[in-house]
Amino acid sequence: MSGGWFERRTRAWSDWTVEQLVKAKQQADVSVSLVIPARDEAATVGGIVSRVHTDLVVGAPLLDEIIVMDSDSSDATAERAAHAGATVHRVADVRPDVGHHRGKGEAMWKSLFVASGEIIAFMDADLVEWDTHFVTGILGPLLTDRDVALVKGFYDRLLDQSGQVHTAGTTYEGGRVTELVARPTIALRWPELASVIQPLSGEWAVRRSLFEALPVPTGYGVEFGVLVDTYLRAGMDAIAQVDLGRRAHRHQPLRDLGAMATELLAVADRRAGVSTHPEAVEVRQFGTGEQRRYPITTMLSIAERPPAGRLAAPPSQTSCPPPAQSGAPDRC
């Protein structure tokens, strides 16, 4: 492990009780938003929002708001999230004057225009093994240490070959892109970051002032980009990591992970200054059996958004997002 950073900046979720965090929040006088980016997560998003709402909004005044960024869903994600107590925004409706990209990073970048928190915690919407300590854990270092600006969650990552959790086929082999792309890239380019146990974890929290100052990859490169940029601009001591136990989520097919890996490598190349990629790249993959000679070609967006803090205000009131589905504050 990298000298003292690991000892100084590695904690466990159980280091803080909810009551301690509420007190720390009051003392620091900061507001906290939980933002959940979600694309077609009707199966899980309602349960996740409802549990967090019960424990950390109603049960304790830790979160000022729970926002679900509905990322081009075609299922009932928005309805289920709103019903469970979240404020829901359609990503495409936020700041329409700057256009719309598909992708997770876009949803997170646009959340900066609708969330009010000085601290923003992010959590994925496809979790199947988790609990609300995921949220309290990633908030712990930010609420108790002014020098920390970014907190990454880490955990054992389950991989279930059948696509279900808790079956006999479950192993600890999850995190395929993490192991095969993120970690090797870090080893080669930014070895100090190698002590970050889950560089791609979707459960992380950040000070708004930092996130607003960073460029944001619109797709799955967002976690990697924010981690590397924080390190390059603020140094290792601005980063902390918190043990959250075990996590299981819905797995993507291998070919989709190939696309994710390409997005990460584009982010890494840009930060290392070794290439000037265009906004999109062609990825060619191949079928199996009779289809093995036929390419499946995808144009993959590797676009990045500029730092949100540098964006000019919307041109007029008409550019403001329409009211959210459950009464978001009007930020126009």
Ligand X SMILES: O=C(O)[C@H](O)COP(=O)(O)O
298 lies in the binding site for ligand UPG (CB under 6 A): no
Site string for ligand UPG, 81-100 (x = CB under 6 A): --------------------
304 lies in the binding site for ligand UPG (CB under 6 A): no
257 lies in the binding site for ligand X (CB under 6 A): yes
175 lies in the binding site for ligand X (CB under 6 A): yes
Site string for ligand X, 197-216 (x = CB under 6 A): ---x----------------
Binding ligand UPG (rule: CB under 6 A), the pick from 18, 66, 200, 324 is: 200
111 lies in the binding site for ligand UPG (CB under 6 A): no
C-alpha triplet 275, 305, 80: angle, nearest 5°: 130
Helix (H, G, I), strand (E, B) or coil at 87: strand
Site string for ligand UPG, 247-286 (x = CB under 6 A): --x--x-------x--------------------------
Using CB under 6 A as the binding rule, the residues of this chain from 205 to 244 that contact ligand UPG are 220, 223-224
Q: What residue 189 binds from ligand X, ligand UPG, none (CB within 5 to 8 A, per partner kind)?
A: none
Q: Which residue is nearest to ligand UPG (CB)?
A: 202
**Residue 205 pairs with which residues in a beta bridge?**
121, 151
Q: Which residue is nearest to ligand X (CB)?
A: 174
C-alpha triplet 51, 57, 63: angle, nearest 5°: 110
Give the whole-angstrom CA distance, residue 293 versus residue 284.
11
Please choose, out of 11-19, 176-184, 228-236, 271-279, the segment that lies near ligand X by the rule CB under 6 A: 176-184
- The strand ranges marked E within the chain are 10-12, 32-38, 65-70, 87-90, 119-122, 127-129, 150-157, 159-160, 170-171, 204-207, 216-217, 239-249, 280-286, 295-301, 304-305
Contact 197, 240 (CB under 8 A): no
- Residue 41 CA to its chain's centroid (Å): 15
Q: Which residues of 73-85 are buried (b: 16+ CB within 10 A; e: fewer)?
A: beeebbbbbbbbb
Of the pair 195, 301, the CB lying nearest ligand UPG is at 301
